Amino acid sequence: MKKLFLMSFTALMIMSCGDSKKEESTQTEIDYSTAPSEDTETATPQAKTTNHIVLKAGDDMRYDKTEFTVKAGEEVTLILMNTGEMSKEAMGHNFIILKPGSDASAFANKAASAKATDYIPTELKSEIIANTKLLGGKENEQIKFTLQAGTYNFLCSFPGHFATMNGTITAI
């Protein structure tokens, strides 16, 4: 009697094992169907031009975007938002757009010792096309400027921020 019970129990185990295997193979088929299609690979990115830019910078020491394409010869409106919580002294951010051919890294080096002028080096002011002031957490500023066709570097000149806070604006 006991033996018979064991045998039927084993049979049940085998049956349920078979069932779970079936389920597994069905799931694998579903996974294959969600694989990316070839269409996404052939899509080509297009340069989107906009002369209204909202640029955010937070306590993570980054701009939320680092590349823009604008229309040359038309006024650009840029709003810099410091979305962070920290003070201007600890995590201040600005936006400085430089003339073509300017060395943004050299500018940042000089700016680091220009605390008295909010990290805008007086001797390199001639390289600046436009800039915001230094903003602390939750502060915003809107500036306007017009660019001729070309590629322009921008940066945050707060000490140590250049490495992660720089980008380019292309005017076409």
Q: Which residues bind Cu ion (CB under 5 A)?
A: 93, 156, 158, 161, 165
Q: Which residues of 126-159 are buried (b: 16+ CB within 10 A; e: fewer)?
A: ebbbbbbebbbbebebebeeebeeeebbbbbbbe
For 112, residues 6+ apart whose C-beta sits below 8 A from its C-beta are 119, 157, 159, 160
Residue whose beta carbon is closest to Cu ion: 156
Nearest distance from residue 156's CB to Cu ion, in Å? 3
Q: Is 80 exposed, middle or buried (0-12, 13-18, 19+ CB in 10 A)?
A: buried
CA-CA-CA-CA torsion sign (4, 5, 9, 10) = negative
Distance CA 155, CA 66 (A): 9
Nearest distance from residue 162's CB to Cu ion, in Å? 8
- With respect to Cu ion, which residue has the nearer C-beta, 7 or 90? 90
How far lies 72's CA from each of 128, 145, 146, in Å? 17, 11, 7
- With respect to Cu ion, which residue has the nearer C-beta, 68 or 158? 158
Closest to 90 measured CA to CA, from 122, 121, 116, 58:
58
- With respect to Cu ion, which residue has the nearer C-beta, 135 or 169? 135
Nearest distance from residue 28's CB to Cu ion, in Å? 48
- With respect to Cu ion, which residue has the nearer C-beta, 154 or 158? 158
- With respect to Cu ion, which residue has the nearer C-beta, 55 or 147? 55
